[in-house]
């Protein structure tokens, strides 16, 4: 449910550092004693938004994704030349998708990529190797690692920022509901290399009639159009969705090209699609289809309702695909590298008779 929050009251009124924007309260100080002393002595506009970091990405630390979407690889040697646009800071995901136009090139990502993580996502650093870090994405549950979904990412796509972490814990939040939006009026940072897209979740620090002001993982702040986000007070989640709510959210991605391991409006794989749709409504389900097949409760084919998940398995019983039931015998899904997200009659699509069951999450 969209809501207008009295952000100035939540934050505490302080220095005004932008039109219509209350500053953060001055009790948000550095954990470093010298920096804390400096802040108490003379807080200047924007200083409370500067990131607190030692400039290193090290094992055991918490870090945040600092690019539009970070792609997590099986190892540092997995990327190909065509994948270069996904490896930088900033990334160029439109160019990457153009590089993956041919089906065989796109399909060859299979086994090379683990998952993706959106701008601002929290990760735990599991290990480092040269310019790369193996991380676990906190909000993507999996049996592979209790800390989150693991994979390797270039260190330059991550940032350590204790202040941003505190803001995420303590402040209201703005969650992007549109497929893609923009950061405008970026201030107090030189780090401006990211766009925001579906499901990006950032701390809210101010709002006016038309926009919300959010803190950025790399430090600083920016505005996002209010119509592109949903705003939640600290600890709040969206209202429980109906099946039709889930289907409506899913259908906005009709026609989007499949991307192995994708969890963003630049491309989804089958389980990344269902995971992301449920997450947009405040419901966490496992990242992969095999584990999604144990979530919720079992429902029979004759009792299917919109929003239920349909699973398809190999003859050995391994789940390899998931789609979302939309009603009238149809499902919406992101099937494979040669296809887009689309709605189809699920029984007609299942030519191999691989349907293995359905689960209801809500």
Q: Could you tell me the residue ranges of all domains in the chain?
A: 7-53+162-232, 62-159, 243-360
Identify the active-site residue in 89, 281, 320, 321.
Answer: 321
90 CB neighbour count, 10 Å cutoff: 16
With pLDDT > 70 as the criterion, what percentage of the chain qualifies? Answer: 86
Burial (0-12, 13-18, 19+ Cβ within 10 Å), 226: middle
269 CB neighbour count, 10 Å cutoff: 28
Amino acid 188: pLDDT: 87
Residue 299 has pLDDT above 80, yes or no: yes
Q: Which homologous superfamily does the CATH classification assign to the domain defined by 243-360? A: endopeptidase domain like (from Nostoc punctiforme) (3.90.1720.10)
Residue 6 has pLDDT above 50, yes or no: no
Domain 7-53+162-232 belongs to what architecture? Answer: Roll (2.30)
Task: Give pLDDT tens digits for 11-51.
Answer: 432 323 333 433 343 333 333 433 333 323 233 346 678 77
Q: How large is the average pLDDT for residues 168-182?
A: 96
Task: Give the single-character DSSP code of 265.
Answer: T
CB-based contact 220:189 (threshold 8 Å): yes
Q: What is the DSSP string of 29-74?
A: --SSHHHHHHHHH---TTGGGS----S---TT-EEEE-SSEEEEES
Alpha-carbon gap, residue 131 to 57, rounded angstroms = 10
Residue 156 has pLDDT above 90, yes or no: yes
320 counts as catalytic: no
Task: Give pLDDT tens digits for 93-126.
Answer: 999 999 999 999 999 999 999 999 999 999 999 9
The whole-model pTM stands at 0.88
Q: Which residue has the tokens 């800071």?
A: 89
Alpha-carbon gap, residue 194 to 172, rounded angstroms = 21
> Is residue 222 very low, low, confident or very high in pLDDT (cuts 50, 70, 90)?
very high
270 counts as catalytic: yes
Backbone angles phi, psi at 160, to 5 degrees: -95, 130
321 counts as catalytic: yes
């Amino acid at each position: 449910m969209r809501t207008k929050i009295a952000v100035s009251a939540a934050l505490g009124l302080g220095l005004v550092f932008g039109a219509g924007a209350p500053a953060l309260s001055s009790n948000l100080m550095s954990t470093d004693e010298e920096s804390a002393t400096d802040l108490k002595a003379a807080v200047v506009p924007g200083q409370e938004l500067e990131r607190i970091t030692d400039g290193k990405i090290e094992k055991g630390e918490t870090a945040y994704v600092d690019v539009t979407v970070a792609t997590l690889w099986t190892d540092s040697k997995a990327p190909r030349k065509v994948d270069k646009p996904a490896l930088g800071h900033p990334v160029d995901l439109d160019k990457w998708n153009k590089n993956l136009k041919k089906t065989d090139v796109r399909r060859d990502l299979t086994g090379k990529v683990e998952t993706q993580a959106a701008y601002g996502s929290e990760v735990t650093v599991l290990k480092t190797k040269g310019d790369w870090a193996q991380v676990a994405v906190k909000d993507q549950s999996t049996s592979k690692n209790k800390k989150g979904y693991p994979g390797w990412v270039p260190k330059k796509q991550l940032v350590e920022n204790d202040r941003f972490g505190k803001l995420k814990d303590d402040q209201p939040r703005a969650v992007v509901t549109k497929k893609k939006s923009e950061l405008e009026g970026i201030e107090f940072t030189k780090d401006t290399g990211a766009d925001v897209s579906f499901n990006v979740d950032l701390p809210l620090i101010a709002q006016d009639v038309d926009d919300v002001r959010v803190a950025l993982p790399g430090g600083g702040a920016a505005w996002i159009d209010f119509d592109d986000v949903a705003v939640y007070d600290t600890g709040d989640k969206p209202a429980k969705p109906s099946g039709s709510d889930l289907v409506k959210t899913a259908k906005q991605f009709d026609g989007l090209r499949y991307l192995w391991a994708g969890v963003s409006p630049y491309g989804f794989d089958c389980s990344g699609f269902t995971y992301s749709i449920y997450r947009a409504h405040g419901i966490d389900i496992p990242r992969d289809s095999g584990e999604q097949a144990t979530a919720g409760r079992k429902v029979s084919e004759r009792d299917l309702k919109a929003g239920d998940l349909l699973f398809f398995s190999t003859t050995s019983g391994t789940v390899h695909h998931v789609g979302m039931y939309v009603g009238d015998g149809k499902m919406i899904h992101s099937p494979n590298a040669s296809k887009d997200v689309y709605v189809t009659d699920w029984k007609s699509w299942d030519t191999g008779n691989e349907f293995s069951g359905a689960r209801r999450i809500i």
